[in-house]
Amino acid sequence: MLHDVARDADICHILGYRRPVAFDDLLAGDGRVEPRDEMPEGYRRTLVRQIAQHAHSEIIGMQPEGNWISRAPSLRRKAILMAKVQDEAGHGLYLYAAAETLGVDRADLLDQLHTGRQKYSSIFNYPTLTWADVGAIGWLVDGAAIVNQVPLCRCSYGPYARAMVRICKEESFHQRQGFEILHTLSHGSPAQQRMAQDAVDRYWWPALMMFGPPDDDSPNSAQSMAWGIKRFSNDDLRQRFVDMTVPQAQALGLTLPDPQIAWNEDRGHYDFGPIDFTELAEVIKGNGPCNQQRLAHKVQAHEDGAWVREAASAYAAKHARPTEGAA
Give the binding site for ligand 3HC (CB under 6 A): 49-50, 53-54, 57-58, 61, 88, 119, 121-122, 141-142, 145, 148-149, 209-213, 218-221, 224, 230, 234, 284
- Quote the least distance from Cβ 245 to ligand 3HC, whole Å: 15
Instruction: Give yes or no for a contact between 88 and 61, defined as CB atoms under 8 angstroms apart.
Output: yes
d(C-alpha 21, C-alpha 12), whole Å: 11
d(C-alpha 199, C-alpha 321), whole Å: 54
Buried b (16+ CB within 10 A) or exposed e, 266-289: eeeebebeebeeeebeebbeeebe
- Quote the least distance from Cβ 188 to ligand 3HC, whole Å: 25
Q: Given the complex with ligand 3HC, which of 77 and 238 has the nearer CB atom?
A: 238
Beta bridge partners of 263: 270
- Quote the least distance from Cβ 222 to ligand 3HC, whole Å: 9
- Quote the least distance from Cβ 59 to ligand 3HC, whole Å: 10
Q: How many angstroms separate the first and last alpha carbons of the chain?
A: 48
Q: Given the complex with ligand 3HC, which of 12 and 275 has the nearer CB atom?
A: 275
| Residues composing the chain | 327
d(C-alpha 7, C-alpha 204), whole Å: 41
- Quote the least distance from Cβ 283 to ligand 3HC, whole Å: 7
Q: Given the complex with ligand 3HC, which of 54 and 294 has the nearer CB atom?
A: 54
Q: Which of 268, 202, 259 is nearest to 239 (CA)?
A: 268
Q: Given the complex with ligand 3HC, which of 53 and 255 has the nearer CB atom?
A: 53
Query: Distance between alpha carbon 52 and the CA centroid of its chain, in Å?
Result: 11
- Quote the least distance from Cβ 242 to ligand 3HC, whole Å: 16
Q: What is the largest CA-CA distance in the chain?
A: 78
